[in-house]
Amino acid sequence: LPEDRNQPIRVKSEHFDGNRADNLFVYIGNVQISQGSLRILADRVEVHGTAEGEIQKVVATGEPAHFQQQVQQSQTPVKAKARRIEFRVNADALQLSGDAQVDRNGNTLSAEKIDYDLISEQIEAQGQSGNGRVEMIWQPEKKVAGQPPGGQEGQEGQEGGEVPAVQNPQAQDTP
């Protein structure tokens, strides 16, 4: 949520190793991070800060590491997982690499590497080098309650137009 970034970031883990000379704080073992609706679960998390104690980026690794955040109030949270998740705090951007997957309302995108801008919801995915491919799975549009099953007229009454083969607001998001 937009106000997530104004919330404190809370981290829990089994072990902590903080090196102030490098402004690098490493959390190891069942690491849980939360900031408002944002959640990260991982085996190991590096918190890269500034000398003033502000967090610049968070790098989570795991088998896999998990990320979840509610982007808009009305929607279910965006879920992501990968072997490595880099969250750039100020840019509100995610970079997932290593069996990466993003799940949004049941629609999934799987690739070797995914860059996800949480503000514009712009997603860029790359398969593995060589012939690696990107895979997207859209869930069929759910029927509106009270609508006669399969009737053409019924469907036309929906927003008064011919219903296209695929109608999914997310489609426009993908470059």
Partner 1 sequence: MRTWLPLAIVVALISVGLWFSESPPQQLLGKRPTPKEFDRAADLIIRGAKTRHFSPEGTLAYRLDADSVTYFQFARRDRANLDQPRIVFYQGQSPRWRTESETGVAYNNGERVVLRGDVNIWELPQAGGIHLQTAAITIKPREEFAETDKVVKIAAGANRTEGRGLRAYLKEDRVEILSEVQSIYENQ
Q: Are 47 and 61 in contact (CB under 8 A)?
A: no
- Other C-beta atoms lying within 10 Å of the C-beta of residue 66: 16
Place of tokens 């999914």: 168
Nearest to partner 1 of 35, 110 (CB atom): 35
Q: Does 90 bind partner 1 (CB under 8 A)?
A: no
Verify cis geometry, omega within 30 degrees of 0, for the bond prior to 77. Answer: no
> Cβ of residue 106: shortest distance to partner 1, in angstroms?
32
User: Closer CB to partner 1, residue 49 or residue 77?
Assistant: 49
Q: In the range 7-26, which residues lie near partner 1 by CB under 8 A?
A: 7-21, 25
β partners of residue 69: 78
Considering only the stretches 46-54, 63-71, 147-155, 162-170, report the one whose residues sit in contact with partner 1 under the rule CB under 8 A.
Answer: 46-54
